[in-house]
Amino acid sequence: GTPFVHYRGEELFVEEVRLADLARAHGTPLFVYSRAAMLSALAAYQRGFAGRKARIFYALKANSSLAILQVFARAGCGFDIVSGGELERVLAAGAKGSDIIFSGVGKTRREMQRALEAGIHCFNVESEAELEVLSEVAAGLGQKAPVSLRVNPDVNPLTHPYISTGLKGNKFGIAHKDALRAYRRAAALPGLRVVGIDCHIGSQITQVSPYLDALERVLDLVAAIEAEGIPISHIDFGGGLGIVYNSESPPAADVLWQRLLARLDARGYGDRQLMIEPGRSLVGNAGVCVAEVLYLKPGEQKNFCIIDAAMNDLPRPAMYEAFHQIVPLKQSATKPVTYDVVGPVCESGDWIGRDRKLAVQPGELLAVLSAGAYCMSMASNYNTRGRPAEVLVDGAQAHVIREREDVADQVRKEKLLP
């Protein structure tokens, strides 16, 4: 995926740091991230919109570890949050309220209030009912909440159904045909101030055309809304750009921007304030998960390679049948065997990779690649497994950014009966 995760001789490195050294020092499973890989992914977006009024709002659901948020905050990113918890994380990482936009179909009054107190840049509102509640909450604080409506452009993002969100018939956004009415309502409500429009059509999108289709539909709406005297100052394209897990060939972020900007210019919207909310494409290929081979279990139909990372650490294969490359930390010349790579959790769904050719022995180490996005942030404690430690590599330096969770951490809020 990136030049920042690479073999040097036979051994796998992240930047200048040998992964085997990190595994020895901090144990496994262990997430390791490259700071340079994140900044390089960010730079591709920034190159793409250079000279325009545009800003990136990192969708931290992809990876919300504080030090990672710090990396993006220091690089000038804003943040797309989806909960009060994410709001507190972003503020703790040093961002300001004005750097934050708030997406999500189910914001509570409490979350709205806290976000208004923090002075966030914009609420991405997903229903007419939410407009009413937000207006009430804002008016109660003597404020006018800045709002953008997430419209559902009804285009097919050509990705996995579980992560496609811009089609009719899913819970996200306001239907295209209802959007004008919703904008009229928003403009009339006392506690709201219309500032923009947004859409988000799905995730792991590997083609430009769905973005352009969505853009056309959104621009049609902008024209209609502004014709009614409601100015739209920003246009937000949502997130969703895919990464290479295996053999995909997604457009580079700067190429995506070129195509979007060309279309915006052609329709006379190129000088608007533009926003984008990428998650996966900023962090996905910046991270790996290092695991140790516990047992090899030959079988009649399948051989199993049982590792110490599991579906609680790396939930994407179990949830989406997602593919992650699995490679040895030390390349070997011995003949590979085909294994299903599985974890210790008591579920048949607990697999990390199927039919993988590996030359490994118990005690040796593997890296699950492309593990920077939607792995740690979706990790759980199922089977009372502590969530892994995380290390951020910066050149030859390695910073522990999260310690491994132990059982005491897990039971801290629990109470025994009297």
The answer to the question of residue 281 lying near ligand LLP (CB under 6 A) is yes
The answer to the question of residue 200 lying near ligand LLP (CB under 6 A) is yes
Structure-derived torsion over alpha carbons of residues 372, 378, 383, 386, reported in degrees to the nearest 10: 60
- Contact at 8 Å (CB) between 331 and 322? no
For residue 371, the minimal CB distance to ligand LLP (Å) is 11
The answer to the question of residue 278 lying near ligand LLP (CB under 6 A) is yes
Annotated ligand binding at 7? The verdict is no
Please identify which of the residues 199, 289, 346, 375 carries the catalytic annotation.
346
Name which of 64 and 281 has its Cβ closer to ligand LLP.
281
First to last CA, the chain: 54
Name which of 127 and 203 has its Cβ closer to ligand LLP.
203
For ligand LLP, the binding residue among 2, 28, 152, 203 (CB under 6 A) is 203
Annotated ligand binding at 173? The verdict is no
Please, which of residues 138-197 interact with ligand LLP by CB under 6 A?
163
Q: Which amino acid is at 130?
A: E
Annotated ligand binding at 353? The verdict is no
CB within 8 A of 401, min separation 6: which ones? 33, 65, 66, 67, 68, 390, 391, 392
The answer to the question of residue 238 lying near ligand LLP (CB under 6 A) is yes
- The CB-side HSE value for 379 (13 A sphere, CA atoms) comes to 27
Q: How far apart are CA 201 and CA 276, in angstroms?
A: 12
375 is catalytic: no
CB within 8 A of 409, min separation 6: which ones? 386
Burial of 314 (0-12, 13-18, 19+ CB in 10 A): buried
What is residue 362's DSSP assignment? T
The 10 Å Cβ neighbour count of residue 252 is 16
The answer to the question of residue 63 lying near ligand LLP (CB under 6 A) is no
Name which of 154 and 277 has its Cβ closer to ligand LLP.
277
For residue 396, the minimal CB distance to ligand LLP (Å) is 30
Residues that are catalytic: 346
Binding site residue list for pyridoxal 5'-phosphate: 240, 277-280, 374
Residues near ligand LLP (CB under 6 A): 59, 61-62, 80, 103, 163, 200, 203-204, 238-241, 277-281, 316, 320, 374
Binding-site residue set for substrate: 280, 316, 320, 347, 374
